[in-house]
Amino acid sequence: MDLSTAVILILLGLAAGILGGLIGVGGGIIIIPGLILLLGMSQHMAQGTSLAVMLPPIGLLAVYNYYKAGEINLKYAAIIATAFLIGGYFGSKIALGIPMDTLRKVFGFFLVLMGLQMAFGR
């Protein structure tokens, strides 16, 4: 790995971490497009890499801060995490069977749709 790639990876990680801690986003919105657009990864590789990134640190310190502030519903989190585990397994199986160009379009459409909902929805 060359220095410029390492710098890009560090900047992507910092941006995702800051946005994750600040507004709860990062992996899909920052890391995946960054890996594709800045490093030329395929959609499948970027999604898999993003998931691998999020596995260990997804919130150890961020969750700790929210926990200390009393801002976590542990019961809800446990239910969502269990469902997320199952959904992630099946979602990855489906994604790996979709052609890369189609998956990229679905991903982009989803980002636009969610952005419009957040900006103009209730």
pLDDT along the chain (122 residues), means of 10: 93 84 72 89 86 71 84 82 81 90 89 87 78
**Cβ contact 31:43 at 8 Å:** no
**Which residue type sits at 107?**
F
Give the pLDDT of residue 31.
Answer: 85
Residue 68 burial class via C-beta count within 10 angstroms: exposed 0-12, middle 13-18, buried 19 and up: exposed
What pLDDT does 5 receive?
Answer: 94
**pLDDT attached to residue 86:** 86
* Number of domains present in the structure of the chain: 1
Residues in the chain: 122
Tokens representing 65?
């801060």
Range of the domain at 54: 3-120
Query: What pLDDT is stored for residue 8 in this prediction?
Result: 93
Q: What pLDDT score does 59 carry?
A: 64
Q: Which residues, other chains included, contact 8 with Cβ-Cβ below 8 Å and sequence gap of 6+?
A: 34, 38, 39
pLDDT, residue 15, reads 87
pLDDT at 117: 85
